[in-house]
Amino acid sequence: MSVLDRLGQKLLFAFDPETAHGLSIAALRCGVPVGAPATRDARLNVPVCGLDFPNPLGMAAGYDKNAEVPDALLGLGFGFAEVGTITPLPQAGNPKPRIFRLPADDAVINRLGFNNEGHAAAEKRLAARKDRSGIVGVNIGANKDSSDRIGDYVRGVALFAKYASYLTVNISSPNTPGLRNMQAREQLGELLSRVMAARAAATAQPPVFLKIAPDLVEAELEDIAAEVTEKRIDGVIVSNTTISRPGLRSGDAARETGGLSGKPLFERSTIVLAKMRRLLGPDRAIIGVGGVDSAETALDKIRAGADLVQLYTGMIYAGPSLPSRVLSGVVRFVEKERLKSICELRDSRLDFWASKQL
């Protein structure tokens, strides 16, 4: 971590997590130079779903919930940025406090509950950047009190298809009651059918990804893979936060309810990723997320079957220069191994990760 990153972290950690998050968004929005952009290297290019990603590292959903700073995130070196989760109507989310830092574990627990400004606010911002370059995905969700949650996703597809480089259907947050039940096969089949019909009817047809939870057993993964294949979903994002608490050291905060992200999520999310790669085969796109905080963890996701990787919590602890440092490490690895493309690494440890027990 650079001296600037350490100073920035010390300043932000003086505030509660939500205030610190708001300050970081404001800094990016105002163009404050908070990180060093990564050097472009053609060996890091990854073609996925008809999109040419300049590198495999993306900013995960959850940071830029309202599509305020996607271009500033790309300026930090990310190959792509995912905004959201965005619901049709604005909602405040769950009561505060609802974000808890676990510094002894390099982790965070959140129970935010899809707090966001809604479709209209995000659409206005995305429309303003429509002609800009850069890959920006839009993560869509359902309102907590919606009487038609599938309809909420359909509305999201219809509205954002013309702005999004890709769309993510997020049914895996643990902080909206009953949302994860949509991963069950019958509900999932109906959801995906209607989502794909909405995309077909839209003015543009971006790739559609399904974001899944890490807290699934193998039979559930098999059902999800079958529906993804049958409905011709373009890809899967593995994974969201976990409700498990694997060996945490952070005391009282570790007992808070909500989704756990960061370093403790790496092992399980990578196992789920590899098992999903085996189930889906070599051609379906997978984005790996969960515990990525270094070049090595990013490379491990790719070795386990990911085409692309995302991070978020890692940057809370390592600072905004993390994307540049990760990518510099990946370039050094590519040079050392004399790879012509980072894509050559994918699946090289698939059997190792897929054989592990959940």
User: Which residues participate in catalysis according to the annotation?
Assistant: 173
Half-sphere exposure of 334 (CA within 13 A, CB side): 23
Half-sphere exposure of 147 (CA within 13 A, CB side): 0
Location of structure tokens 């968004």: 25
167 and 137 Cβ atoms separated by less than 8 Å: yes
Phi, psi of 256 (to 5 degrees): -70, 145
172 and 212 Cβ atoms separated by less than 8 Å: yes
**Could you give the 3-state DSSP secondary structure of residue 358?**
coil
CA distance 303 to 299: 6
DSSP state of 163: T
Residues 6+ apart with CB under 8 A from 297: 266, 291
- Give which of 116, 191, 120 is closest to 150, Cα–Cα: 191
Phi, psi of 253 (to 5 degrees): -60, -30
266 and 246 Cβ atoms separated by less than 8 Å: no
Q: Where are the beta strands (DSSP E) in 6-159?
A: 46-48, 51-53, 57-59, 80-86, 99-102, 107-110, 135-140
Query: Which residues lie across from 82 on neighbouring strands?
Result: 137
From residue 143, give the alpha-carbon distance in Å to each of 46, 156, 196, 346.
34, 11, 20, 36
Exposed / middle / buried, residue 132 (Cβ in 10 Å: 0-12, 13-18, 19+):
exposed
Length of the chain: 358
- Residue 120 CA to its chain's centroid (Å): 22
Query: Can you say whether the dihedral through the CA atoms of 245, 80, 25, 122 is positive or negative?
Result: negative
